[in-house]
Amino acid sequence: MRFLGAAILVALFLLAVFTLANWSLLTAPTLLSFVAFQVEGPLGVIMLGVTLVLVALFVLYALMLRTSMLMESRRHTQELQAQRKLAEHAEASRLSELRTQIEREFAQLRAAIGATDVRMDKMEQSMKQSLDEAANSLAALVGEMDDKIDRALARTDR
């Protein structure tokens, strides 16, 4: 792009040098025909003016293209920023939803663990009660057996 700009500037400079070198020929009056009528005037100056008008139009067109490109680029940048914000908001929403779900599941696990602890305590109490009953029964049986042995020994001693 810089090479093209430099080439255009060099061409315009060469046109200016050519114009200055041949100014007397460019300003010489000539009979000009406009199909419907004829006028006498300097053909070189008219052609130079047309060339300069075309150059000005070309520069104006290039500036308009550049401006529209910059505006389009700015619009795309704004759209990208809006989409980025939307994506970040959606990601934050998903993360908060995930956090809520994890907290809910942990609460359910804590409740289940609490219920398990209560059942374990009940089972432990039931087991202790069963062991106490078994120990009492065993103690009663041992006591009965001891009484029977004592009675049997007392009969044999007599």
What is the model's pLDDT at position 127? Answer: 94
What is the model's pLDDT at position 108? Answer: 94
Element holding 132 (H helix, E strand)? helix 43-157
pLDDT for 25-35, tens place per residue?
888 898 888 88
**Distance from C-alpha of 87 to C-alpha of 93, rounded to nearest angstrom:** 10
**Distance from C-alpha of 138 to C-alpha of 44, rounded to nearest angstrom:** 137
What is the model's pLDDT at position 1? Answer: 61
What is the model's pLDDT at position 158? Answer: 64
Q: Distances from the Cα of 70 to the Cαs of 57, 62, 84, 152, in angstroms?
A: 20, 12, 21, 119
Residue 27's φ and ψ, nearest 5 degrees, are: -95, 0
Residue 3's φ and ψ, nearest 5 degrees, are: -65, -45
pLDDT for 38-73, tens place per residue?
989 898 888 888 988 998 999 899 999 999 999 999
Instruction: Please indicate whether residue 83 or residue 25 has the higher confidence score (pLDDT).
Output: 83
Residue 104's φ and ψ, nearest 5 degrees, are: -65, -45
pLDDT for 84-100, tens place per residue?
999 999 999 999 999 99
Element holding 40 (H helix, E strand)? strand 38-42
